[in-house]
A and B are shown apart, each in its own frame.
Chain A
Amino acid sequence: MTDVPARDFPLLFERSRPGRRAARPPTVDGPDLASLLGEDQLREVPPRLPEVSELDLVRHFTQLAHRQFSIDGNVYPLGSCTMKYNPKVHEEAARLFQDLHPNQAPETAQGTLRLLFELQRDLGALTGMDAVSLQPAAGAHGELTGILMIRAYHRARGEGDRRSVVLVPDGAHGTNPATAAMAGYRVVEVASDARGEVDLAAFTAALGPEVAAVMLTNPNTVGVFETRILEIARRAHEAGAQLYYDGANLNAIVGRVRPGDMGFDVVHLNLHKTFTTPHGGGGPGTGPVGVKAHLAEYLPVPLVVEGNDGFRLSEDLPSSIGRMRSFVGNVGNLIRAYAYIRTLGLEGLRRVSGHAVLNANYLRVRMQQAGYSIPYDRHNMHEFVAQPPEGVHTLDVAKALLDYGMHPMTVYFPLIVKEAMMVEPTETESLETLDAYADALGEILRRAAEDDGYLAGAPYTTPVRRLDEVRAARQPVLRHAFEEGPGSAE
């Protein structure tokens, strides 16, 4: 499609020239290192880090940024990922606090500690939970925290050995079964019914005295609300199981119905989803966990507490599952989420979930009009699952979208729907953007019908085109191979 010969974009190591440099730290005079550290402790071969001028460095990472799709660039409707606008004022908010050291005396950190204390309280109020830990560093980390608390709870009641199973729906996020396994549980999957909800009969049959926990996402991973959630909660609790809420989809219902009120015992939140902290190309996320009172004694430490002499971090929780990570948590993101909650208030958060659901339903109808089918044809929540027409592959449509400067939806998830396209437009996209997205999807089908080779060749205009992923896996090249010179890892 292009007359310009294919050229490799250079690696930073290929721009490197011995003796060039960018930044200069302050230098300190003093004795030689061998006398300070001991000769046998010293490194013999220096690391081959890039040697580039500051402008070369700037150009390299600026050009790499240009080779990167982002929300700030265009619509990014990845289902389950909640790629909504990340407000710029949050970045300024986080910078105000970024130089605080975690080992400072608490009396010099009262502002940050107050903010964290208030955030614990507000996240508890929004989820209907009695106590909150800000520790977990990501959603999956929050899941592990929650499941370990459930495990501690059953152990304390003498049922730890008996309750060895965690139930997850067959449409669950992969992290759910992986988390349960990491906590030593056996995973049993529960089928979904024709409406996309947990099959109540299959669920009831799977419940038993060996079940420790049920992990649910609501709205679930096909984007529909589990309408029998109160019955599910009742049956789970009657069987002695704890009900875990995967908060990946809380953004659909925030302010409108609370997991705690629906009967969930534990909830994790993805602050990078509902509370719009940036995804950063794959983290850092942040996954606070809220629990009902009967689990509060098992929360990880430290907790932020208020005492007579101000706020402090407390590790005084004898039944705690322990620490989940170092220090208090991903404070930079906690500050961003706090700023978001304070900007919107309850009314604003309700409008966020309302418009997220409005946009998703609008795009569902527009995609149906554009020739895509909807396996669960009902009102959806913040996201929905679609399928391309018979004979068209989801992967090909996704690649073709890239030529329109738009990001594809999540593809091939959930696993229970063939050729699944999971679409989550979020509330921050305008109708014009959603119309353009649906129009592009329609045009792709028309072009595919006219030109046999079109879809298989897409994308045509991206910085690189389809990749040989098999080669990447069969002959792994996971670091740059230096051509010459001493190396520490060769």
Chain B
Amino acid sequence: MPYLPHTEEDVRRALDTIGVDSIDALFDELPAALRNPDIDIPPAMDETALLAHLRGLAAQDRAQGPDFLGGGMRRHFIPAVTPHLALQSEFVTAYTPYQPEVAQGILQATFEYQTMMSELTGLDVSNASMYDGATATAEAALLAVRQTRRERVLVSRGVHPETRAVLGTYLEALDIRIDTLDLEMLSTPVPSVDADVACVIVQQPNFLGSLEAMGALTNAAHAAGALLVAVVDPFSLALVKPPGAYGADIAVGDGQTLGNPTAYGGPSFGFMVVESGLLRQLPGRLVGQTVDVDGRRAFVLTLQAREQHIRRSKAKSNICSNHQLTALMAAVNLAALGPQGLREAAVGSVRQAHRLADRLLAAGAGIERSVPFFNEFTLRTRRPGHEVRSALAGRGVHAGVPVGSEYGLGNAVVLAATELVREGDIDALVGALEDVGELAGHGVSHD
């Protein structure tokens, strides 16, 4: 049997030591009538058959081809050195670093990760990671509720619909009210914030791709004593003003764009970085620096009195496992790119996206060009977004994240471009849009 080392003789020796005559005898406390049920799962296969089976399934997917997909994840440049280093088996097959003397590898890498996330966001304290951007956003809202003792949050409709859905699931459980701010001209208008609001949550760039006026939104939140939660794409922070620079209290987001594969949606990781006054409310693991008995610098999980294994029902969150390995991928990748490489990738991504938008505008597409965007933008379409996406997929192009009717735009999709867009890819997309009747004669008019 794969992975089991015991010979028949080993089993016999173990049974004799224990003083029973069969393995089944060790299970005699299980309810007799329920033991060893017939369970209908497929029969075992060997390694060769398994890989052939999986390759057969993978062949029914198609990841290749010109790619303009965004909407929460994007395929960016990941140098070969990143997975090679992050996926060393010492990192992959370790547990949470509860014995720091033999876990300095993960502990120090996490400390370096925390420092990099702090640098990127311009805020003081990063935790060791969360599950994904959506759950990190929900945890940020709960943090704001604890901190302000207020029970209402304002969220921009520009926050990814799935993130808002998760926010709804988490907050509904505690009867915390959520009010949604509609967009005007694809961006969040500065709202009036009442004195019972714990936080205002804004995504930058927002789901439709627009760059928001974060400074004014932050000031509006602070004037009412509310916190500003910035949901940011960390990749964009290579170029775009970081949350700390406009006074945001909490930065959260999904880290996939920092060096993890898209993996059909996971695992990536969520991050949370806060200003230092919120440290004691921060959920999740934290690594801190200290010294050992010989005076050497060393790292350790710290401030654990916030966590479930110590505080149980009084913990700041129930989170236990975080997403350590995917966060480590990001740390390695950020170091592999360095400030210059990250900037070059981001600049490339921005330029390709604007090149694409200009080409589409020239072809008569419905794009609102007066609103600044980063590397994603919204295209009005004739047919519903999912139909456009399928039609493009039929022509070998991955593009078109559907925009829901809640945005009041009629039919629309979000398009993205990265530094990986190659010569000819933009032609392929524009050609495919023409082929499926989304460009020809569409005209520039849209309301």
Contact = CB atoms under 8 A, between A and B. Distances in A.
B109 A25 contact: no
Given A184-B173, A258-B39, A357 B26 contact: yes
Contacts of A244: none
Which range contains the number of A residues in contact with the other chain? 35 or more
A43 B237 contact: yes
Which range contains the number of B residues in contact with the other chain? 35 or more
Interface string B1-41: 11111100011011101111001101101110011110111
Contacts of B349: 28
A254 B242 CA distance: 48
Interface in A9-27: 9, 11-13, 20-27
Contacts of B128: 282
A173 B105 CA distance: 27
A189 to B, nearest CB: 9
Contacts of A261: 34, 37
B446 interface: no
Contacts of A97: 57-58, 61, 263-264
Nearest to A102: B265
Given A25-B348, A480-B115, A488-B244, A257 B37 contact: yes
A358 B339 contact: no
Nearest to A148: B173
A54 interface: yes
B91 to A, nearest CB: 6
A24 B29 CA distance: 61
Interface string A393-413: 000001100100001100001
B72 A102 contact: yes
Contact of A47 (B169, B175, B237): B237
Given A279-B93, A462-B102, A478 B288 contact: yes
Contacts of B129: 283
B267 A284 contact: yes
Interface stretch (A199-207, A288-296, A338-346, A443-451): A338-346
Interface string B75-93: 1010101101111111111
A112 interface: yes
Interface string A304-338: 00000000000000000111111111111101000
Interface string A85-98: 11101011110111
B227 interface: no
Contacts of A272: 321
Given A57-B336, A174-B308, A362 B17 contact: yes
Contacts of B195: none
B177 to A, nearest CB: 14
A64 B91 CA distance: 9
Contact of A342 (B34, B53, B77, B296): B53
B125 A151 contact: no
Interface in A42-86: 42-52, 54, 57-58, 60-62, 64-73, 76, 78, 81, 83-86
A282 B237 contact: no
Contacts of B169: 148, 300, 321-324
A469 interface: yes
B240 A61 contact: no
A103 B85 contact: no
Interface string A195-230: 000000000000000000000000000000101011
A89 B291 CA distance: 39
B117 to A, nearest CB: 9
A334 to B, nearest CB: 9
Given A178-B308, A355-B6, A469-B290, A137 B323 contact: yes
B341 interface: yes
Nearest to A145: B169
A358 B15 contact: yes
Nearest to B267: A284
Contacts of B203: none
A22 B41 contact: no
Nearest to A253: B30
B114 interface: yes
B364 interface: no
B266 interface: yes
Contacts of A365: 17-19
B97 A429 contact: no
Contact of B323 (A100, A283, A408): A283
**Which 6 pairs from chain A and chain B are nearest by CB?**
A327-B265, A68-B105, A280-B325, A345-B44, A111-B60, A102-B265
23 contacts: A6-B294, A49-B119, A57-B85, A68-B104, A89-B50, A97-B57, A98-B261, A99-B262, A178-B308, A257-B30, A257-B31, A279-B95, A280-B328, A282-B324, A321-B169, A324-B166, A343-B46, A379-B18, A379-B26, A399-B101, A464-B296, A467-B293, A467-B298
